[in-house]
Structures are given as structure tokens and as C-alpha cells.
Structure 1
Amino acid sequence: MGGLEWEMRPGGMLVQKRNLDCNRNYSIPIPTIKVLVKYGSYYHEIHINSHATFGELKKMLAEVTGLQPQDQKLIFKDKERESKSFLDVSGVKDGSKIVLVQDIISQEKRFLESRRNSNMERAMKSVAEVAIEVTAKESVICKGGRVAEKELLTLIELLMSQMIKLDGIVADGEVKLKRKTQVVRIQKYIEILDRLKAQNAMATTRYGDSQVGLVVSQQQQRPLIMQQQREQRNFSNGLMLTSKWEKY
């Protein structure tokens, strides 16, 4: 076996013992390189790991330029480099020069996306506010109360207005999913309001019928009351005449 040392592995296999100290001595540190990045008329000196990616370089440049990584385009040797590409593989060495330009198209996309998100948030807030009103009206009508029909119509108009605004939001991905969810919610609330209108109309009719019945009843009772009053007056007059005759 010579001067070699051996060790028993958990599976019962006898192998040569590993020399961890030896491995440490042979580990090669990854070098740090300096690159010059030109942005406009300024040069930024960046110290970075040579095995890093252009995406990591963009993150470091964002701290010194204020330009978001997704809005950056890095040009090396007259070629735009992908964020996933490695510096050393692309030929970047210590002292290499890289050009940073602003990606206008990416910025415009981010701006439009931000605007769509903002419009969607406002629409969601408006729908939520109308939903509270719908719930309140539903509670009143379900308890037998009445609501002015104009209030129900106003809520329906507000929901239809939000539907039109949502239809005007051109979106994809998560924003598109949110828009679909809100459209379904609006349709549900409109259906609820249509049902409440019918219930509210029935309650109004019942109330009106009861009022008409009361008026008719009063009109029917009025002649009877007047007859009773006339009889009472005649009876009183008879008593007075009788009383005078007896006295005479």
C-alpha cells in the first residue's frame, strides 16, 4: 500500500483518504477585473468578478447611473450582449471597454405597463366602492324596505362605465387576468341590481296597493259616519222637543 492512507466509506468500500488541506492549496481564486463602461460622456470604472454575467454588471451600473438594469443595453466589441452571457466567455478582460446605452423601447414598455397597472388599480378600487353600495341596498330591500329606483339605476350606470374603462385597457399576463376577474365581478353586481330592481318594484306596488285600499276603505266608511251623525242630531232634537212639551 506504500505510504498511502485509506478510509472506509459508509457503503463498506475501502478508498484512498482525501487530503482536504491539499485541495485547499490547489484552489485557484477567481480574479477580479476592472472594466471601463462609457455612458454618455462619462466613464465608470467597475471592479467585478471575471466569471460574472453582463446581467450582474448591469446591476452594479444601476447603482452608479440610476438606470434600471432592464433599461440598459451593454455593447462590447460592437455587439449587444445578453444579460445571461458571461464576461470571460465573451472575451472581457481587465481593462476592457464597454459601452452602455439606454434602451428606449424597454423604457416605453415599462411605462405603458405601469400605466396599465395604474388604470387597473383605479378600476378595481371603483368597483370595490360600488360593491359596498350594492351590498347596502341589497340589505335594505331583503329586509322589506324600499330604495329609490334612481339609486339602483345610478349604480348600474357606474358599473357599466367601469366595464367600458376595463375594455379599453390593452393588457396581457397578470393584468389581463385581473381585467377578466373584474369584468366577472361587474357582471355579477349588475345581475344583483337587476334582481333588486324587481324586488324593489314589487315592494313599491304592495305599498301602493295598501295605501289605495286605505283610501277606499275611508271613502266607504264616510257615508256611514255621516248617516250616524245625522241620526244622532235628529235624536237629540227629539229629546229637546219632548222635554219642552212636558214642561208646558
Structure 2
Amino acid sequence: MDIASLLGIASGIFLIVGAIFLGGDIHNFINIPGLMIVGGGSLATTLLTFQFRDVFAAFKAAYFVFSKEKEDPNEAVAIMISLCQISRRQGLLELSKIETDSGFLKKACGLIADGSSNDVIRNALITEIESLKMRHFIVQDVFRKMGIYSPAFGMLGTLIGLVQMLSNLQEPSQIGPAMATALLTTFYGSLMSTMFFLPIAGKLKARTILEVINLEIMLEGSISILDNNNPVILYEKLSSFISARLRKPMKEMVGR
């Protein structure tokens, strides 16, 4: 589980709810019509903007933000060093037998084992990376758009509440609920945007950047295996993708 994401959401909700409790009754901040306007309107507009499968994929990806630990680039470097050692001892053809959950790595190993040229391997894997970036951009854009739509529907709810309030000035009992809807929809829209949708989009973008780094490590590692097949040179080249303070020494990666 990603502790940072969980801690961020939990602390934000705790501080906001705590401030509400300190300032009065939390029931004053519960308004079903306002939630319907902001939540329902944002979701409906998002479904109008994107295909259903993209929206479903976005919410599925958001779940993984909280449930899946981020991948360590050092692991990708260690995997490529291991493949380099296998290819030196048993030959490049042995890489075609590698069992892995990564389709990208499986493809890279297959291209190496088939004796493909550097350009063929590089172009094929770069295409894979660019395709992944585009798929992830759409997923991130779903939450970015929801972060834009929710405050807009908050303002729309405010206008609805004001119209209701002004049309019932002769009935004082109706002014309070209408005013609550007017104010709380703006609150809901801002809360959903700044507390949920935009941070999730940012987190997904950060995960995409990290995943692309791992894939680029595999790409450059594949080319290096085909070029020189030297674990030391491979380590020095691939470790450059990782910050110096986070970089693990080669002796911790050899023989894994």
C-alpha cells in the first residue's frame, strides 16, 4: 500500500472534519441536493467527455495508487544485470525462455533472442513506451477534467440555490435550505477538486514518470546486452537513471 497517498488523504479529511467540528455542527455541512449537483454533474460530464472504458480505467488506476507500492528502479537495474549474466553464460537464445509478468520485458527478451538489430529493438520498445504514455495521459486527464468540472458544478449549484432563495423570499422557512444549497455546493466542488481529483491526477502522473523510467532502463539494458554483454558496463550505464543517493551498489544486485 502507498503510505504517502493514504496518509495524505486521511490527514486532509481529518483536518477538514476537525475544523468543522471545532466550528459547529457537522450536520450543517451535509446537503444531499448539493452533493447530487456536484458529484452527479461531474460524473455525468466526465462520461460525456470520455469513453466509459477510459473512465472505468481511471478509477481502477486510482485504486492502484493506494493499494500498490511504487516500483523501485533499482529492481529494474538488477533484473537487467541478471539477464546479462544469463546471456553471457548460456547465450542470447536463453533469454527467450525468461518467465516474467512484464510484457515489455518479455518483448525485449524476445527481440534480443531473435537477433534483432539495435535499431529494431529501440524502435519497437520506444513505440511501446510512447503508447503507454498516451494511455496513461488519458487516465490522468479523466481526473484533471473532474477537477475542473466539480468547482464549475459547485458554482452552478450556488446559482440554483440563489434562484430558489430569491423565488421564496415571501416564505422565510425556505430561505435557509436554499442558502445552504447555494453555499455548500461551492464547498463540495472545491473540496472534491483540491482534495481528491487533482491530487489523484498528480499521483498518477508521478507513477507514470516512474514507470517510464523503469521501461527506459529495460530498453537501454536490452541494447547494452546486445552490444557488449558486460554486467559492469551495464550497471554503470543503467544506474545513471537513478539519483545518486538512491542508487544501490552493484554488489547488492549481482546474483539476485
Q: TM-score range with shorter-chain normalisation?
A: 0.3 to 0.5
The two structures have a TM-score, normalised by structure 1, of 0.34
Higher relative contact order (CA 8 A, sep 6+): 2
The two structures have a TM-score, normalised by structure 2, of 0.33
Rg larger in structure = 1
